Structure 1
Amino acid sequence: MRDRTGNTVITTVSLVALCSGAWLLSSGTASHPPPQPSPAQAAPSLPGHHRPEPGTAALPPSPPDRVRIPAIGVDAPLMGLGLTPTGSLDVPPSERKNLAGWYEAGTTPGERGTAIVAGHVDNKEGPAVFYALGALDRGRTIEIERRDGSVAVFTVHAIEVYDAKDFPDEKVYGAAARPELRVITCGGKYSKQTGYQGNVVVFAHLTAVR
């Protein structure tokens, strides 16, 4: 659902279905874990960094069709995602490893508010669309191709990893006064019994439109 300012409203949305670690489980080894963000890529917490960085004026709503992250070789179509009956975010079909999704009941990327994109880190065959997400650095760009023909360009301002039990729902999904984007996949500690124990989250804001 959405509020009247276009912000995404999500409360305690679980991403468990993304996090089975299908490739590592099927191979019986954890020797190929995906990269995890370093502490240096977290949001700055020093005095003077609490104000939002400059951005670009918001766009009108338009569904996204494709996501590109040149720095890590992502170029993938987007499908709409909803919520499951248990309240968790639905996920793209795991067999389509180069497919990501966006939360279509929320903000569209480029609109004022917080837009959500999510995808698998792996499937039974190997790495999936967001396998390398944790290798991103601040300052890299994410391009969202929109159905109205525009391309919304977001600049990454933080990459963080959270344990599932400490996932900061408000920080990730909460309302934003400017156009922001969250890109989410699995990460953190890995268990052969339960898969990945957390999520990698990329925080970005709109800085250009083509």
Structure 2
Amino acid sequence: MIRKTIAASAVAIAALVSGCSVGSTTAAPASSAPSASSAAMPKSEPVSLDIPSIDAHSSLVPLGLNPDNSVQVPPVSTPLQAGWYENGPTPGEVGPAVVLGHVDGNKHKGIFYRLKEMKPGDDVDIARRDGSTAHFEVTKVDQVPKDVFPSDAVYGDTSDPQLRLITCGGAFDRAEHSYVDNIIVYAHLVNGSH
């Protein structure tokens, strides 16, 4: 399970798009209901992401923490690149694995440009270094103001393997050079295969 210290340090995710960040306020408890998912998978680095419903396909790069304890993001100059938070569980392990991507960048659509269109029941497949695939099913899609980002729900401990997909959304605040909201997709593991 993800340790609370990691959860606390990951509250302030750095800009997903120039100036777009996740707010630092914690509030909502983990709200994804326990699922009848398959057994947890062993630790294995994720290598690629496939979301057929929104035509999103990307390799995955590891993302750590910046010196200010914000989570690193892929370069905005490569907006179609997604990344996974390497200090948390790998996709398929017990706990919330976190994948981040840009909504746009460098005047182009980003990997998660259509993330807000996802719906419960949509599939997310993550290929892993060990040759297995973690198959997730979406349970919830939220759009939340970044100043009330639900860090407990996103990073808090879970009793089963879960996944979070995060990008920016809502209106673009030109004065702040950032989007005002975050789109968060919650999913649970339905099966892992080789």
Q: Report SS of the residue matched to 1:148.
A: coil
- Count residues with an aligned counterpart: 181
Deviation at 1:51, TM superposition (A): 4.5
Structure 2 CA distance for partners of 1:178 and 1:190, relative to 1, 3 Å: same
Find 1:144's aligned residue among 126, 140, 150: 126
1:62 to 44, 48, 59: 44
Q: What is the TM-score with the length of structure 2 in the denominator?
A: 0.87
Spell out, residue by residue over 1:60-116, the C-alpha distance to the aligned partner (whole angstroms, 9 max, x if none): 000000011000001100000011111111010112222110011110000011111
**Change beyond 3 A, Cα 1:50–1:106:** closer
Please tell me the root mean square deviation across aligned C-alpha atoms, in Å. Answer: 2.1
Deviation per residue, 1:170-199 (Å, 9 max, x gap): 011101100000000001232111220121
Alpha-carbon distance in structure 2 between the residues aligned to 1:175 and 1:151 = 22
- Structure 1 position 125, deviation (Å): 2.6
Q: Taking every aligned residue pair, what percent have the same amino acid on both sides?
A: 41
Q: How does 1:1-210 map to 2 (within 5 A)?
A: 2-3=2-3, 9-11=6-8, 13-20=11-18, 51-194=33-176, 195-210=178-193
Q: Which amino acid aligns with 1:18?
A: L
Separation (CA, whole Å) in 2 of partners of 1:118 and 1:137 = 18
Report the alpha carbon displacement of residue 17 of structure 1 after superposing the two structures with TM.
Answer: 1.0
Q: Which runs of 5+ in 1 are unaligned?
A: 23-48
Q: Structure 2: which 5+ residue stretches go unaligned?
A: 21-30
Q: Is the 8 A contact 2:103 2:111 kept in 1?
A: yes
Q: Counterpart of 2:24?
A: none
Aligned to 1:10, what secondary structure does the other structure show?
A: helix
